[in-house]
Amino acid sequence: MRLILVCSVVAFLTAARPAPPARAPIAPDEFRVRYYRLTLDLDPASETLVGQVAVEGLATSPLLRHVGLDLASTLAVDSVAVRGQAVAFSRPGDRIELDLPRAVPRGEGIALTVTYHGHPQGRGFSFGAHDGVPMIASYGLPYTARAWWPCRDTPAAKADSADIVVTVPEPLVVASNGRLVAVRASSAGTRTFHWAVRYPISPDVVSVAVTDYVTVSASYHTARGDSMPLVFYVYPQDSARARQDFAVVPEIMRSHVARFGEYPFLREKYGIAEFARPSYREHQTLTAYGSSLITGDHSNDRILAHELAHQWFGDLVSVKNWSHVWLNEGFATYAYALWQEQRGGRAAYRAAMAQADRDDFSGPIYIADSTNLAALFTATTFDKASWVLHMLRHVMGDSAFFGALRDYLRAYTYAAATTEDFQLVCERRYGRSLAWFFREWIYGTARPVYALEWTNASDAPGGSRAGVVTLTIRQVQSEAPPIRMPIDVTIATEQGAAEQRIWDSLATQTFALSVGGRATGVTLDAGGWILKRLVPPSGLEGLRYMHPGHQLDLAGLAALRVADAGALGRLMGRGAGRGRSSDRGSRSPPCSGRARRPRAA
Ligand SMILES: [Zn+2]
């Protein structure tokens, strides 16, 4: 079938679209960190940490005189040394500020050592227990690295490498990032674990996890025949369940590698460390994974796929600041659907995307205030962002979309990116601007609500165009101007069904499609590529279906012709109805999806 006519712009709304908001500032880069060495002594009995952190970097300002690091004010700094020489420092808030003994020209190295101690507060680091055994773990949320070690606490400030050297009482085991290069026992009944990280790493994904771990191991084999350890640190009593659950990790790894390229930390490992929080976090090469998630029945495979994908999206490529966190969370959530597609084909992929349609998405995906923690990790930045990637795939086509993913990972490998960086990479592959798409879906908040009417053109008064179906799509969402999207239209005829793509962008838009026969049914977006709602079948049941949470004005509705979506919106008190009501009799449009709750007004 062929699109023969796009016409009849019945109504066009000129309401302003949301402009991309002002960007949150990227932290000034006065020096570039090259290396961290964390030397920590953890005492579970007193719940204290005694630490020394060495920081090496390069001056990036013309003449560096002053240096600052982030460290929680609840930790006491004993001394700061510059190249071994003690210097004066101040502690404004959660900072350590100091003047260098001499100004350092751009490109020259600096080396600091901070000695400190205390009981870490807040969520970033906790002393606890499981079954009477000490359980100590970091939890790398935004701005929580400073809760337990001094650093430049922004995801953009990656060190080229790090060493993490942790001493604990026997028989506790320390799991951390990178490779375990030494374990040294002392006569004092302690053991020191030395972990070496030889890939760039952001502070928020540096981690330690300590308890009476046992390990469950497996291997990942690359296409080139290399092998890398998969090491899972779990509580002894959970090892059987963990062995069951984590058996799927090699399969997920192969799926992610096929889509995203080789695992980025191949010379080290991929690991998981069980910890006490009912949560999970993508610490580099060592995902933190809550005890309650280890069930032995694969009920959290989705989280395993999500966390492993973060090794590419979040760790290999970090965000320049937390405003862009959707680049981490959207991709990690979407990766689960891609794995499902690899495993079970298009139906499994669609089912995974349908599960991610949480409906009550609030606010834009781009979080203008990068310090607003409550907005950073929500269904909007996880699930809606995964839908945005799914829709972008539909807009760009598979070849350009997956090419762009690879380009993005390559361009920002072991570095950090922004939303604009990703958009630009996509536009290069697509060959056209995608500003409209990002404006609608990343910076905007609406989803389209489509009302469909269709008729065989030959049925119209005086109509003689056999084999043409006339299709009118109205966008009746109340909260936003019309949304531009390509919509696949499936038209059933007595000869069979066929699909055509139309570009819909107006409040009311009519299309005449050549179908080569008499149409018996029309379905919008049968493939489920658009985060949308469809105006339901006519009648009160349809209204209840669409607005399950609303008190309906039944008397008013009884008198209403349901085809008039504008009046419908007004009855619902939502001010919908930018589209013109039609004089033609409406057919019941096809309807898909589950009952939906309206967004909060
Ligand atoms: Zn995540």
How far apart are the CA of 294 and the centre of ligand 1, in A? 17
328 and 404 co-located in one domain: yes
Mean predicted confidence (pLDDT) in 360-380: 93
The predicted model gives 231-256 an average pLDDT of 98
* Weakest mean pLDDT among 267-271, 333-337, 557-561: 557-561
Residue 54 confidence (pLDDT): 98
pLDDT in the model for residue 172: 98
Residues 400 and 468 in one domain: no
Task: Answer whether residue 595 shows pLDDT above 80.
Answer: no
Q: Tell me: cis bond preceding 171? Omega within 30 of 0 counts.
A: yes
Q: Quick one: which of 144, 176, 162 has its CA closest to 56? A: 162
**Residue 68 forms part of a structural domain:** no
Asked whether residue 582 is assigned to any structural domain, the reply reads no
Q: What is the pTM of this model?
A: 0.85
Pair (451, 412) in one structural domain: no
What is the model's pLDDT at position 537?
A: 53
Q: Is 542 left (phi over 0), alpha (psi -120 to 50) or beta?
A: alpha
Q: 523 C-alpha to center of ligand 1: Å?
A: 35
Q: Are residues 538 and 521 in the same domain?
A: yes
Residue 267 tokens read as 């010379």
Query: What is the domain extent for residue 501?
Result: 2-16+447-570
Specify whether 433 is located in the same domain as 464. Answer: no
How many domains are contained in the chain? 2
CA of 317 to the centre of ligand 1 (A): 13
Q: Are 462 and 437 in a shared domain?
A: no
Helix, strand and coil in the chain, % to nearest 5: 25, 35, 40
3-state secondary structure of 175: strand
pLDDT digits (tens, 9 = 90+) for 556-587: 333 333 333 333 333 333 333 222 222 222 22
CATH number at residue 461: 2.60.40.1840
List the structure tokens of 586: 């409406």
**Centre of ligand 1 from the C-alpha of residue 191, in Å:** 32
Q: What's the 137 CA to ligand 1 centre distance in angstroms?
A: 18
Determine, yes or no, domain membership for 80.
Answer: no
Q: How far apart are CA 216 and CA 14, in angstroms?
A: 60
The arithmetic mean of pLDDT across residues 509-537, rounded, is: 92
Does 419 lie in the same domain as 386? yes
CA of 587 to the centre of ligand 1 (A): 43
Cβ neighbours, 10 Å, residue 119 = 13
Residue-wise pLDDT for 42-95, tens only, equals: 999 999 999 999 999 999 988 999 999 999 999 999 999 999 999 999 999 999
- 311 C-alpha to center of ligand 1: Å? 10
Higher per-residue confidence, 394 vs 596: 394
Residue 293 lies in a domain: no
Q: Does 455 share its domain with 479?
A: yes
Compute the average pLDDT of residues 321-328.
97
- The verdict on 349 and 404 lying in the same domain is yes
d(CA 590, ligand 1 centre) in Å: 35
- 453 and 339 co-located in one domain: no
List Cβ neighbours of 291 (8 Å cut-off, separation of 6 or more): 130, 235, 238, 274, 275, 276, 278
DSSP SS3 for 50:
strand
Q: Which of 441, 469, 487 lies at the terminal end of a domain, its last residue?
A: 441
Residue 523 lies in a domain: yes
Residue 453 shares a structural domain with residue 533: yes
Which domain-ending residue is among 384, 416, 441? 441
Q: How far is the CA of 330 from the centre of ligand 1 (A)?
A: 8
Instruction: Answer yes or no: are the C-beta atoms of 254 and 265 closer than 8 Å.
Output: no
Domain presence at residue 343: yes
pLDDT tier, 144 (very low <50, low <70, confident <90, very high otherwise):
very high
Q: What is the pLDDT of residues 276-285, one digit of tens each?
A: 999 999 999 9
- The DSSP-derived string for 352-407 is HHHHT--S---S-SS-S-TT-HHHHSSHIIIIIHHHHHHHHHHHH-HHHHHHHHHH
Evaluate whether residue 333 is within a structural domain.
yes
Q: 272 C-alpha vs ligand 1 centroid, how far in Å? A: 14
Distance (Å, whole) CA 341 – CA 306: 14
What distance in angstroms lies between residue 310's CA and the mean position of ligand 1's atoms? 7
Q: Are 425 and 451 contained in the same domain?
A: no
Average pLDDT, the chain: 86
The residue whose two tokens read 């808030």 is 93
**How much distance in Å is there from the Cα of 82 to the middle of ligand 1?**
37
Type of residue found at 568: L
What confidence tens digit (pLDDT) does each residue in 414-454 have? 999 999 999 999 999 999 999 999 999 999 998 999 999 99
How distant is the alpha carbon of residue 157 from its chain centre? Answer: 20
Structure tokens at 66: 């002053």
Which sign does the torsion angle of CA 413, 321, 273, 144 carry? Answer: positive
Q: How far is the CA of 532 from the centre of ligand 1 (A)?
A: 24
Rounded to the nearest whole angstrom, what is the distance from the C-alpha of residue 396 to the centroid of ligand 1?
A: 25
Residue 370 is part of a domain; what is its CATH number?
A: 1.10.390.10
Q: pLDDT tens digits, residue range 98-140?
A: 999 999 999 999 999 999 999 999 999 999 999 999 999 999 9
Q: How many CA atoms, within 13 angstroms, populate the side-chain half-sphere of residue 157? A: 28
Residues facing 233 on adjacent strands = 215, 273
Q: Looking at the domain assignment, is residue 501 inside a domain? A: yes
- Final residue before a domain boundary, out of 422, 441, 460: 441
